Structure 1
Amino acid sequence: MLCALVVAAALGGAALLRDRAAGHPAADTTSSPPVEPTPADAIGPDGCRPGEACQVLGRAAIGSTYLDLIGDPGGVSGRVRIGGPTTSQVIEVTVTESQVTLGPDSLVCRAAGISACLVRGGGERGVVGQVIVGRSGKWSPVNKAFFSAAGSLSLGDVNGDGTPEVLAVQCDRACPRVFVQVLTLAGDEQGCTRTYARPEQLPGYPAVEVTASALRACP
């Protein structure tokens, strides 16, 4: 029996030496799990990336909640900071992926039963916007891009039901002939107005206003 134990121990030791020689060291069960690195582009609660300059481009208020549009130099990217400099909720702006630039008038908000903010940026081909929706203190972005070929995106309550809609001014075949396209916050088309010879003729211009009775099928 003693001889058998000695032989087994010897064989086990030989196998361990062969594994080490072949580049397969035994596992170290006492080592700590690897620490995940902190992303270099992490966003701080102030809405800025570490080590990068940024500034408040615009501010809007929904009740007692302040929303700040934080822009990087040149307005080529940005974020919406909700609640102030120490907030924990920062929403990334995605419209800049469409080669548009953010500016002081890029953020507009409308308080309602379902509140909404529109972040819009201008580029060579028009204005592109994204919507952020707030309800019961919770804010979330809508995964839909809104576009205006005539350079005007805004929010309005077309149906009078307390839920904002997006008003997108579009060109009718060619500008300056324009009409207003009305879309829900989810991006569904509700209808369009008649065509106007130039933007200045739009109802309420420059703060465009549309009622449900003025809508018809879109061109």
Structure 2
Amino acid sequence: MARRMPRSVVVTALLCGVVTAASLAGAAVLKARSQRVATPPSTSVSVPPTTPSVGLSGCLREPCQVLASTTVAGTFVELIADAGATSGRLRIGGPSASQVIETTVTDLGVTLTATSLQCVPGSASACLIRGEGPDGMTGQVVVGRSDKWNAQERAYLSSAGLLVLNNVVSDSSPEVIAAQYDCKGNQVCDKRPVYAQVFGLSGQEIGCTRTYTRLEQLPGYPQVTVPSAQLRDCP
């Protein structure tokens, strides 16, 4: 006759089996959870393409450079050019400014330099951007009224190489003064007399001075201060 195992031994074995099975199941669950945490699902992140832009700095070609800066009527103004100084921007109000105005004289062959910027305050403040071009000193004017600045369409040309802003007419805004050779036809112009031609900020011709033997003889040279009473019709 087979010997019968005591009941207490059978119960103990069954309990051990249950505990072992529960332990194995718990280990499997923990392993699955750890795998999910350690290996996140793969995601595809698309990087937006970079598009070349000019931005506030004014550069078309890096590195940018600040050629000149000044303060006019409490507003900070900077002339910023690209690496070749053949394009640039007038940045008004500092690096965080929202007003950036493109230079147009560079489209006419002007290369910007450290002396390309002149600003004069007034009821209508103005900044002149100028430089040597194929036809002589060429400039554009940017006018500011009530913190709003706008580039004027007209380009100004000085055959004698002098283009400045100054107050000529008895008002509170500056005028554009361009020195010209009194030269016609096939004459050698740099040996000819010179005169100053005066324009309002909107581009209208106001008048001209008499002729002078040399450029340096213009009144107030190099800033040229011309009393409006001495202006006459231009040649």
* Bucket of the pairwise TM-score, normalised by the shorter protein: 0.7 to 0.9
* Conserved 8 A contact 2:73-2:125: no
Shift of 1:160: 2.1
1:6-155 → structure 2 map (5 Å cutoff): 40=52, 42-49=53-60, 52-155=62-165
Q: What amino acid sits opposite 1:98 in the alignment?
A: L
Shift of 1:38: 8.0
The answer for unaligned runs of 5 or more in structure 1 is: 1-36
Shift of 1:74: 2.6
Q: Which residue of 2 aligns with 1:197?
A: 213
Cα deviation code 1:58-96 (max 9, x no counterpart): 012113211100011231111100111111111000101
What TM-score, normalized to structure 1?
0.78
Aligned residues: percent identity?
52
Give, in whole Å, the separation in 1 of the partners of 2:201 and 2:50: 35
The answer for unaligned runs of 5 or more in structure 2 is: 1-48, 184-188
Give, in whole Å, the separation in 2 of the partners of 1:39 and 1:140: 27
Q: Aligned pair 1:166/2:176, yes or no?
A: yes
What TM-score, normalized to structure 2?
0.73
Give, in whole Å, the separation in 2 of the partners of 1:60 and 1:180: 26
Give, in whole Å, the separation in 1 of the partners of 2:216 and 2:58: 37
Cα deviation code 1:9-60 (max 9, x no counterpart): xxxxxxxxxxxxxxxxxxxxxxxxxxxx9863x32223334x7211000012
Give, in whole Å, the separation in 2 of the partners of 1:46 and 1:66: 15
Give, in whole Å, the separation in 2 of the partners of 1:133 and 1:197: 33
Aligned residues: 181
Cα deviation code 1:168-188 (max 9, x no counterpart): 000001234100000111111
Q: Which SS does the other structure have where 1:67 is aligned?
A: strand
Q: Which SS does the other structure have where 1:75 is aligned?
A: coil
Q: What amino acid sits opposite 1:47 in the alignment?
A: G
Give, in whole Å, the separation in 2 of the partners of 1:39 and 1:196: 54
* Conserved 8 A contact 2:57-2:89: no
User: Cα 1:38–1:164, aligned 2, differ >3 Å: closer, same or farther?
Assistant: farther
Q: Which SS does the other structure have where 1:167 is aligned?
A: strand
* Conserved 8 A contact 2:166-2:223: no
Q: Which SS does the other structure have where 1:73 is aligned?
A: coil
